[in-house]
Amino acid sequence: MAEGKALATNRKARFDYHIEEVFEAGIALTGTEVKSLREGRANLKDSYAAVERDGVYLRNCHVSPYTPASRFNHDPLRPRKLLLHRFEIRRLIGKVQEKGLTLIPLSLYLKNGRVKVELALARGKKQYDRREDIKRRTQEREVADALKKARSG
């Protein structure tokens, strides 16, 4: 996890994807979006980043409207531009064109008063990979419980 205060996390990302590489990106937001994020009213589930000709955009990220803003509110699902260096964008274009790689947000957090996105270059897991992860976690939990029981008993 990147340093700073976590505003939202994509909990299923590490379960559904093999994380290859992690980036930190700024994000272009409106004032009402920042206020809503500070209240923790964001959802990264099913969101992804798309590389387009003029930059990288975060799509399907739901930031709930800020209630006190009334009619001056933002569209909750609007595409939000991610702020990356030009060389990072070029590199991402090359990587995303590889078969099976995608950009997914892992978390939104505050760093020095600015909202940042932890972005991962990831490869989707197959169903059997997920089953193996569940099996491994269950075994680790059972071993930890047995050790705990042996120490106390």
Instruction: State the average pLDDT over residues 60-83.
Output: 81
H or E, element range at 15: helix 13-16
Confidence grade of residue 1 (pLDDT, cut at 50, 70, 90): very low
Kindly report the CATH number assigned to the domain that includes residue 102.
2.40.280.10
The reported pLDDT for the residue numbered 55 is: 85
Q: Is residue 132 part of a domain?
A: no
The rounded mean pLDDT for the chain is 83
Over the stretch 73-94, which tens digit does the pLDDT of each residue have?
A: 777 788 888 898 888 888 888 8
The boundaries of the domain holding residue 29 are: 5-125
What's the number of domains the chain is made of? 1
The reported pLDDT for the residue numbered 66 is: 79
The rounded percent of the chain whose pLDDT value lies above 90 is 1
Local structure of residue 77 (DSSP, 8 states): T
Q: Is residue 16 part of a domain?
A: yes
DSSP 84-126: --HHHHHHHHHHHTSTTEEEEEEEEEEETTEEEEEEEEEEEPP
